[in-house]
Each structure stands twice: as C-alpha cells, then as structure tokens.
Amino acid sequence: MQIESYIEELLYNYNCVVVPGFGAFLAHGKSAELDNQTNTLIPPSKTVSFNSQLSKNDGLLVSHIAKEKHLGYEELLQEVENVAETWNKKLQRGENIELFGVGKLWLNREQRIQFQPENKINYLTSSFGLSTFAATPIQREVLKEEVEELEEKIPFIITPEKREQSSFRPWLKYAAVLLLAVSLGSTSYTAYDGIRQNQVAAQQDAQEQVSKLIQEATFFETAPLEFPAINIKVNKKQLGKHHVIAGAFRVEQNAEKKVAQLKKKGYNAIYLGANKFGLHQVAYDSFENPKEALSFLRKIKRTESADAWMLSEK
C-alpha cells in the first residue's frame, strides 16, 4: 500500500501527519529569503522534518485514507501499521526509504532515523503560483569620467577664419527669422479675411433655409409606438478565482490545442489568456472555493500530471 501520496496531501493543510508505529512528518512555516550570492528570491514555504518519537496514532492519516478509499477505519489502520512495520524492517537492514514528494529516510551509525526533505513541492497554500525568481544585477556604466578624459585629450580649437564666420552667422539667422515672421503674418491675415467672408455667407444661407423650413413645417401628434419585450437568455460561465493550471504556452495555437485535448478527456478546460510574461495559460478548471480547488489539484497531480499547479487571483 502506497501511503506517501496521502501524507503529501495532508501536509498542505496540517502541520503534523503521524504514521502509526513509525513517526511523524512535521511542516514548519518558512519566510521568504533572498540569496545575495545568486540574487535569487525564494517565496514563503513550508519545510518538512521527521520525528520518530511521535508514533502514536492520532487518527488523521487513517481517517483520510478511509474517506478517500471508502473503506472501514479498522481495516485501514491495520494496513497502515503493516506499512510502518515494513519501513522499520527496511531501515534495520540498512536500506533507504524514498517517499515521493516527501523525502528520504535512513539510519545513521547510531541507529537513529535521518530524514532529508525533497524540497520540490511548496506545501504552503498561500504561495501557490509563486516560484523562485532570479534577478540579474544591473550593470551601470559611468560615462562622465570617460567624457572628461576625452575633453582633456582632444581640446576644442577655433581658427580666426571660423571665428569670423561664426560672428556673421547670427545676423543671417535673425534676418531669416524676421522674414519668416513677416511672411506668416501676411499669409495669416489674408486667410483670416477669406474665412471671415465665407462664415458670413454661410450664416446667411443657413438663416434662409431655417425660415423656409419653419414656414413649410406641419406639426401633428402621433401615438407612441409600443414594441414587445424580448427576453434573451445568455449562458455565461462565471470563472472562479482559483485556477488549476495545465500549462503555459508561448504560442496561442498550442494553448487552444491543449484546451481541445482536455475537453475531450472530460475536463472543463479554460483558456485564461496571456500573463505578464506573454505565456498563454490553460486551466483544467476554475473554482470559487479554494478548498475545492486544492482537492481538485491533488487529484490532477495524482492521476493526470504532477506538474499541475494552482493560480489564485486577488
């Protein structure tokens, strides 16, 4: 009987999962970290440890398995105790026990159980969707010192001939500006006078047309038209805030193919659009209740894909 998948599921919601007759797996909260050497930001998580002294049955693991498999409590308690006995025998023979998603156990020279967590899964539900982020340090170039060095090496020299030309050029510039201003003024005045005359003529024509229409107009009352009410039913799926992600694709066509494949399998697959990184996300399904989303995620990881994860929107 493989019970490590059930231990993995319980570690999401509980901080202590006891295997009767063997020991307890403990989950401890861990704050976000910044690795200055690699410039890596590690999100908040849960670290898993093992305590062999907490081996008394608290009913949590057995009750969870009994509910999932729809079997009796006493029957499953005996099976779990048999698994614990098998694990103890393997450790005594010097063998290692590897629990997928949880970690590795072995005996040291003092015959004490040692545990190494796998650390591939973040059991902190509030950190779903967060992954380790590596930031590249910004390389800033200081150009001021280089410019100063160039100014010292290449001095700026003006010959007498260039100085005479430079003293004459401002007068040409001012003359050109003055000529341009006079030209624009005369052109603007001519255009304004023409526009003014056109406006007066247009106003006279408009007044004549309005007077003619008022003389010819006939006013009458008509009953208001009544239109029958039309009821249109629109079936629209309300997306939840918690999405179980099946994959993210750089090409939108690949995302649409993934949606079609999942729908053929019976999932309520949804195309969520592109995220801020330009990846097109596809979800198995969306839920409003976070507990339902977590339960569905565990099922998908166990039966469909271990790479599935949950995206929660604010």
Statement: residue 222 has pLDDT above 50 = no
pLDDT at site 234: 41
Question: Which position has the higher pLDDT, 151 or 217?
Answer: 151
pLDDT band at 236 (very low <50, low <70, confident <90, very high): very low
Contacts 24+ apart (CB under 8 A), 56-61: 56/18, 56/20, 57/18, 57/20, 57/21, 58/16, 58/18, 60/10, 60/14, 60/16, 60/17, 60/18, 61/3, 61/6, 61/7, 61/10, 61/17, 61/18, 61/19, 61/20
Structural contact between residues 69 and 50, judged by C-beta atoms closer than 8 angstroms: no
pLDDT at site 3: 87
How large is the average pLDDT for residues 39-51?
80
pLDDT at site 140: 56
Residue from 131, 77, 105, 112 nearest 311 by CA: 131
Q: What are phi and psi of 153, to 5 degrees?
A: -80, -35
Q: Helix-strand-coil percent breakdown of the chain, rounded to 5?
A: 45, 20, 35
Question: Which position has the higher pLDDT, 174 or 311?
Answer: 311
Give the span between the Cα atoms of 65 and 1, in whole angstroms: 11
Measure the CA angle with vertex 53, ends 51 and 58; round to 5°: 90
pLDDT band at 223 (very low <50, low <70, confident <90, very high): very low
Residue with tokens 């997928």: 100
Question: pTM of this prediction?
Answer: 0.41
pLDDT at site 12: 85
What SS3 class is residue 295?
helix
Question: Which position has the higher pLDDT, 14 or 128?
Answer: 14
How large is the average pLDDT for residues 181-204?
61
pLDDT band at 37 (very low <50, low <70, confident <90, very high): confident
pLDDT tens-digit series, residues 64-115? 888 888 888 888 899 899 999 999 999 999 899 988 888 999 999 888 899 9
Statement: residue 235 has pLDDT above 70 = no
Biggest alpha carbon distance in the chain? Answer: 115
How large is the average pLDDT for residues 109-134?
74
Give the span between the Cα atoms of 87 and 105, in whole angstroms: 9
Q: Which two tokens stand for residue 218?
A: 């006939």
CA distance from start to end of the chain: 40
Statement: residue 218 has pLDDT above 90 = no
Worst-scoring range by mean pLDDT, 41-50, 73-82, 134-143? 134-143
pLDDT at site 240: 81
pLDDT band at 192 (very low <50, low <70, confident <90, very high): low
Give the DSSP letter string of 128-157.
Answer: TT---EEPPPP-----HHHHHHHHHHS---
- In the chain the beta strands, taken as DSSP E runs, fall at 16-19, 23-30, 33-35, 40-42, 45-51, 97-99, 103-107, 113-117, 133-134, 242-249, 270-274, 280-287, 309-312
Q: Which two tokens stand for residue 19?
A: 């295997």
Q: Which two tokens stand for residue 53?
A: 């002294």
pLDDT at site 203: 66
Residue with tokens 């539900």: 125
Question: Rounded mean pLDDT of the chain?
Answer: 76
